[in-house]
Homo-oligomer: A and B are copies of this chain.
Amino acid sequence: MITVSIIGGTGYTGSELLRILSNHPEVEIKYITSRKMDGVKITKLHPNLKGIKNLDNTTFKNIFPADIDSDFVFCATPHGASMHIVPELYEKGMKIIDLSGDYRFEDISTYEEWYNLKHTGKLDAVYGLPELHREDIKKTKLVANPGCFPTGAILALAPLVKEDLIEDRIIVDSKTGVSGAGVNPSETTHFPNVNENIKPYKLTTHRHSPEIEKELEKLTNKNIKLSFTPHLAPITRGILTTTHTFLKENVKRAEVIDIYKKFYKNEPFVRIFDEGAPTLTGVRGSNFCDIGGFEVDKYGRLVMVSAIDNLVKGASGQAIQNMNLMAGFNETEALLYGGLKP
Contacts of A12 in B (CB 8 A): 192, 342
A196: Cβ under 8 A from any B Cβ? yes
Asked if A242 and B173 make an inter-chain contact with CB atoms under 8 angstroms apart, the answer reads: yes
A108: Cβ under 8 A from any B Cβ? no
Give Cα A229–Cα B171 distance, bound, in whole angstroms: 13
Asked if B195 and A185 make an inter-chain contact with CB atoms under 8 angstroms apart, the answer reads: no
Asked if B342 and A236 make an inter-chain contact with CB atoms under 8 angstroms apart, the answer reads: yes
Asked if B303 and A238 make an inter-chain contact with CB atoms under 8 angstroms apart, the answer reads: no
Expressed in whole angstroms, the minimum distance between the Cβ of A243 and any Cβ of chain B is: 10
Contacts of A338 in B (CB 8 A): 18-19, 22, 46, 48-50, 52
Asked if B203 and A169 make an inter-chain contact with CB atoms under 8 angstroms apart, the answer reads: no
Give Cα A283–Cα B22 distance, bound, in whole angstroms: 16
Scan A119-146; emit 1 where CB is below 8 A from any B CB, else 0.
0000000000000000000000000000
Chain A interface (Cβ < 8 Å from any Cβ of B):
12, 15, 18-19, 22-23, 46-52, 169, 171, 173, 175, 177-179, 183-187, 189-201, 203-205, 209, 225, 227, 229, 231, 233-238, 240, 242, 244, 246, 268-269, 271, 273, 277-286, 288, 290, 293, 295-297, 299, 301, 303, 305, 336-342
A–B Cβ pairs within 8 angstroms, 22 of them: A18-B338, A19-B341, A22-B338, A48-B338, A48-B340, A175-B175, A175-B231, A183-B190, A185-B185, A191-B191, A191-B234, A192-B281, A192-B342, A198-B240, A199-B277, A200-B303, A203-B277, A204-B295, A204-B303, A227-B244, A237-B342, A244-B244
